[in-house]
Homo-oligomer: A and B are copies of this chain.
Amino acid sequence: MKNNPLEKLKTQLDIIFNPSSVAVIGASRDPMKVGHVVLRNIVEAGYKGRIAPVNPKAHEILGLKAYTSLLEVPFSVDLAIIVIPAPFVPQAMRECGEKRVKAIVVISGGFSEVDEEGEALEKEVLEIAEEAGIRVVGPNCQGINNTHVGLCATWPLIKCKGGISLITQSGTLGAAFSCWAEEEGIGISKCVNLGNKADLNELDFLHYFGEDKESRVIAFYIEGVSDGRKFMDIASDISKRKPLIALKGGRSPAGSRAVFSHTGSMAGSDAVFDAVFKQTGVIRAKSLEEFYDFAKVLAYLPLPEGRGVFIVTSTGGSGILAADACEDAGLTLTEPSEEALKRLRSQLPSRCTFRNPFDLTTTTADKFRLVIEENGGNPDIHGFIAIFGDPIPNAAEEIKAASESVKKPILVAYLGGGEVEKVEKTKMHSLGIPVFPSPERAVAAYSALVKYSEFRKRTENSLID
C-alpha cells in the first residue's frame, strides 16, 4: 500500500498541511516585508508546532528565537516556507535537503514567470528538490493555509475554520475568497496558491482534498490544466463524493491573452472546458462572487431531491425578484397544498400572501418556521428559500429548528435588517446556515445545489444500471 503513488502523495501533502514544525526562511523584522507578515500570521493563527524564523541578522523576531541558518535550528523541521530573493533560493533548498526538511513552499517570485534566467533558476530549484525527495509548492506563490491547525503561511490573516478547501492559480483570488469567508464566519479548511507549479500542481491538491475529510467542498480557480485527461479522471472520481466548484480565467480572447501573460498557461477553448466541467460534474461559477457563493452553499446545505422550491419572505419585493430569478434558473415554484393553505390561513393574518412566494409581510421569525414546517412534507417542494427583510430577531434559531424538522435544504437571504441582520447572519453562519445578501444571489446559489444534486443522481443511476 505504501508503494501506491497516491498513498505516497497523500503522506507528502499531509506534511504540508499538518507539519510538526515550520521554518520561515527569510523571516523579517520589518512589518512591511512578506517574510514578517507570513511569520506573524502563523503565530497569530495559533499554530501549535515549533516555529523557526531564519534570518542571518536577527536573534529574535516576534518574540521567537531566530536562527542565522536553517542548519542551526536545533529541532527537526517538517516544512520550510521560503521568502528570500530568487537567486538565494537554490542554496536555501540545499540546506533544506541537508536538514531533511520534508516539504517546501517557495513564496519568492523571480522564476519562470519573469525571464529565461528565472526559468533556469526554477529548473535548478526543482532538481535540488527532486534529488532530496522534497515536494515543492510554488515558486512565486502566496503560500498555504490550514485553519484547523492555525498554519496561516500566507496573507492576509485567516483563522476561521470551515469546510471549504481552496486551490487557486491566483494568490489574490484565494485571499479574496478567504477574506470573505473569514469576515462572514463561514471559514475555510485549507487553501493553497499554486504559483508556477514547478512541482505540485492543481491535480495533486485536487486528489488530496478529494480524500481529506475536513474538505467538504473543493473550490478551484484555474487558468488552464496541467493534464486534461488526468484532470477528468480525478474530477469525475471526486464529484461522486463531494462537490467541486470551478472558476476558470480566460474565457474570452482578451482574457486568454492575459492568461498567457500571467502564468504562461494556454487558456484553451472555453467550450471544451465547459463540456469537461459538465461531464465531470464540476459546478462552474461565472464570477468570483458566484465561486464563493456556490462553495458556501454546497459546503453547508443538504442536497434537494428535485427542482421544486418554496419561497417564504417578509418582503414582497424580494420575493418577486427571487421568483424572477428562479424562473430564469429553471426552478419550479411549487404551490402549497390545499391542506397546508388551510392550516396556514387559520394561524396567520389575512394580509399574508398565501401562495408561493409566500409573503408574511410584517412578521416574526417563528412564522417563517411555521410556513416551512407546514409545507415541509409536500413531496413536490424539495427545498426552501427564506428571505428576511427588516430587522427580524431570532431568525437563526427558527431556521435551525425548521431545518431539523423538515430535513430539506433551507437557504436564507437577509437584507434591509441593519444591526439585527448582522447579528442573525453571524449566528446562522456559526450554525451552518448559509446566508446571502440579495434574492438573486440566494437563488443562484440554490441553483448550484440543484445542479450538483442532479449530477449526483445521474451518476448514482448510471452505477445502478
Contact = CB atoms under 8 A, between A and B. Distances in A.
A392 to B, nearest CB: 11
A170 B261 contact: no
Contacts of A441: 287, 289
Contacts of A359: 258, 261-262
A367 interface: no
A300 interface: no
Interface string A295-318: 000000000000000000011111
Contacts of A249: 317, 320-321, 324
B170 A251 contact: no
* Listed residue (A253, A261, A324) with the most chain B CB atoms within 10 angstroms of its CB: A324
B321 A417 contact: no
Interface in A141-183: 155-157, 168-176, 178-179
A328 B253 CA distance: 10
A172 B396 CA distance: 19
A421 B179 contact: yes
B415 A318 contact: no
B262 A417 contact: no
A323 interface: yes
A460 B287 CA distance: 36
A9 to B, nearest CB: 25
Contact of A389 (B114, B175, B316, B324): B175
The 6 tightest CB contacts between A and B, nearest first, are A170-B317, A172-B389, A156-B418, A175-B416, A172-B315, A252-B327
Given A172-B314, A175-B418, A261-B316, 12 more contacts: A113-B351, A114-B351, A170-B316, A171-B317, A171-B390, A172-B416, A249-B321, A249-B324, A250-B324, A254-B326, A258-B357, A287-B325
Interface of A: 34, 109-110, 113-115, 155-157, 168-176, 178-179, 221, 223, 247, 249-255, 257-259, 261-263, 286-289, 314-321, 323-328, 333, 350-351, 353, 355, 357, 359, 361-362, 389-391, 415-421, 437-441
18 contacts: A109-B351, A114-B351, A156-B416, A156-B419, A156-B420, A172-B314, A173-B315, A175-B416, A179-B416, A223-B317, A251-B324, A252-B328, A253-B327, A258-B319, A258-B357, A261-B357, A262-B320, A286-B440
